[in-house]
Protein backbone atom coordinates (compact mmCIF):
# COMPACT_ATOMS: atom_id res chain seq x y z
CA UNK A 1 0.00 0.00 0.00
CA UNK A 2 1.32 3.41 -0.95
CA UNK A 3 1.62 5.99 1.82
CA UNK A 4 0.90 9.53 0.71
CA UNK A 5 2.36 12.59 2.36
CA UNK A 6 -0.06 14.26 4.76
CA UNK A 7 -1.63 17.64 4.30
CA UNK A 8 -4.23 19.44 6.37
CA UNK A 9 -7.09 18.88 3.92
CA UNK A 10 -9.43 16.09 4.87
CA UNK A 11 -12.65 15.67 2.92
CA UNK A 12 -14.14 12.91 5.03
CA UNK A 13 -13.12 10.71 7.95
CA UNK A 14 -13.17 7.12 6.69
CA UNK A 15 -11.46 3.85 7.64
CA UNK A 16 -8.64 4.56 5.19
CA UNK A 17 -7.92 8.01 6.63
CA UNK A 18 -4.28 8.45 7.54
CA UNK A 19 -3.96 8.97 11.30
CA UNK A 20 -1.50 11.88 10.98
CA UNK A 21 -3.76 13.60 8.46
CA UNK A 22 -6.70 13.18 10.84
CA UNK A 23 -4.71 14.66 13.72
CA UNK A 24 -3.64 17.64 11.61
CA UNK A 25 -7.15 18.37 10.36
CA UNK A 26 -8.81 17.70 13.74
CA UNK A 27 -6.33 18.05 16.63
CA UNK A 28 -9.16 17.22 19.05
CA UNK A 29 -9.32 13.73 17.50
CA UNK A 30 -6.27 12.77 19.60
CA UNK A 31 -8.44 12.58 22.72
CA UNK A 32 -10.92 10.27 20.96
CA UNK A 33 -8.19 8.03 19.54
CA UNK A 34 -6.47 7.66 22.91
CA UNK A 35 -9.81 6.91 24.58
CA UNK A 36 -10.24 3.97 22.19
CA UNK A 37 -6.79 2.51 22.79
CA UNK A 38 -4.50 4.46 20.50
CA UNK A 39 -2.41 5.36 23.56
CA UNK A 40 0.95 5.35 21.71
CA UNK A 41 -0.24 8.58 20.07
CA UNK A 42 0.18 10.36 23.40
CA UNK A 43 3.90 10.28 22.63
CA UNK A 44 4.76 13.16 20.23
CA UNK A 45 7.48 11.05 18.58
CA UNK A 46 4.94 8.35 17.76
CA UNK A 47 2.60 10.96 16.29
CA UNK A 48 5.42 12.12 14.03
CA UNK A 49 6.49 8.64 12.93
CA UNK A 50 3.91 5.87 13.23
CA UNK A 51 0.88 8.10 12.65
CA UNK A 52 2.26 9.15 9.26
CA UNK A 53 2.28 5.59 7.96
CA UNK A 54 -0.93 4.12 9.42
CA UNK A 55 -4.59 4.43 8.50
CA UNK A 56 -7.42 4.06 10.99
CA UNK A 57 -8.17 0.61 9.53
CA UNK A 58 -4.53 -0.51 9.93
CA UNK A 59 -4.41 0.82 13.49
CA UNK A 60 -7.57 -1.15 14.27
CA UNK A 61 -5.83 -4.34 13.19
CA UNK A 62 -2.61 -3.49 15.04
CA UNK A 63 -4.56 -2.92 18.24
CA UNK A 64 -6.85 -5.92 17.79
CA UNK A 65 -9.86 -3.64 18.17
CA UNK A 66 -13.32 -5.19 17.79
CA UNK A 67 -15.54 -4.09 14.92
CA UNK A 68 -18.10 -2.76 17.39
CA UNK A 69 -15.56 -0.63 19.25
CA UNK A 70 -14.11 0.63 15.96
CA UNK A 71 -17.56 1.67 14.71
CA UNK A 72 -18.22 3.59 17.94
CA UNK A 73 -14.89 5.38 17.56
CA UNK A 74 -15.66 6.22 13.92
CA UNK A 75 -19.04 7.67 14.94
CA UNK A 76 -17.31 9.95 17.45
CA UNK A 77 -14.68 11.00 14.92
CA UNK A 78 -17.34 11.76 12.29
CA UNK A 79 -19.00 14.17 14.73
CA UNK A 80 -15.86 16.30 14.39
CA UNK A 81 -16.68 16.83 10.70
CA UNK A 82 -20.02 18.34 11.63
CA UNK A 83 -18.40 20.88 13.96
CA UNK A 84 -16.51 22.54 11.10
- Residue 52 · residue 4 · CB < 8 Å: no
Question: Across the strands, what pairs with 41?
Answer: none
pTM (predicted TM-score): 0.84
Per-residue model confidence as pLDDT tens for the chain (84 residues): 444 444 456 789 999 999 999 999 999 999 999 999 999 999 999 998 989 999 999 999 999 999 999 999 999 999 998 876
End-to-end CA distance of the chain: 30
Amino acid sequence: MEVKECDDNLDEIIEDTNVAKLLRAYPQSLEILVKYGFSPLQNPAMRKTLARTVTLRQAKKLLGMSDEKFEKMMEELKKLEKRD
